[in-house]
Amino acid sequence: MYYYQPYPMYYPIRQSVMRAYAEIRGSKLAPDLKGYMTVMDIPNGAEVTVEVSGLPHYKPAQGGQSPIGPHGFHIHEKGDCSGSNSSDPFPNTGEHWNPTNQPHGNHAGDFPVLFSNDGYTRMSFFTNKFTAKDVVGKSIIIHENPDDYRTQPSGNSGKKIGCGVIKAY
């Protein structure tokens, strides 16, 4: 006889979906920036969702400077968001997370850019490069300038304006 067990008393169904979570905070370059990222395991990979407010508004390139936005967005290899007030914020996050020794543009930590909608962004995307447990202990970083997905080793995306340490959830 089989009895359906709706609660995970003997069979922990709910623990089978792994998630990771990061709370994102701004550096002194974007002090109002705040939001979160989640990574949820789904068939064949993971779904990444991010929601952030307090981003800078878009500014076109001028005078040989890079545009402000859309914003480079990456997982960096070290989960250390210290140094938010320095002139080069979050200096302890290391390089892009790159477990398969790829060029920049195809790092596991290379994400789509974030578009600021008058300061707000929300995005979800699929990746088959990792699952949630793989990214725990690393950091998620938002940059001031766009990622060109070409310049090595990090896409010329400028200073860091947001950082979050990725934790199991």
Closest CB to Cu ion: residue number: 74
Q: How far is the CB of 128 from Zn ion (least distance, A)?
A: 17
Q: Given candidates 25, 71, 74, 104, which one binds Cu ion under the rule CB under 5 A? A: 74
DSSP 148: -
Q: Examine residue 96 and tell whether it contacts Zn ion (CB under 5 A).
A: yes
**Tokens, residue 148:** 């060109």
Point out which span in 14-22, 46-54, 125-133, 141-149 binds Cu ion (CB under 5 A).
Answer: 141-149
Q: Please, which residue, 46 or 113, has the CB nearer to Cu ion?
A: 113
Q: Examine residue 107 and tell whether it contacts Zn ion (CB under 5 A).
A: yes
DSSP assignments along 20-60, one per residue: EEEEEEE-TTSTT-EEEEEEEEETTEEEEEEEEE-PPPPB-
The CA-atom distances, in angstroms, between 49 and each of 9, 59, 124 are: 30, 25, 4
| Residue 107 binding result from Zn ion, Cu ion, none, given CB thresholds of 5 to 8 Å by partner type | Zn ion
Q: Given candidates 24, 39, 141, 161, which one binds Cu ion under the rule CB under 5 A? A: 141
Neighbouring residues of 84: CB distance < 8 A, sequence distance ≥ 6? 25, 26, 27, 28, 90, 163
Q: Examine residue 104 and tell whether it contacts Zn ion (CB under 5 A).
A: yes
Q: Examine residue 129 and tell whether it contacts Zn ion (CB under 5 A).
A: no
Residue ranges that bind Cu ion, judged by CB under 5 A: 74, 141
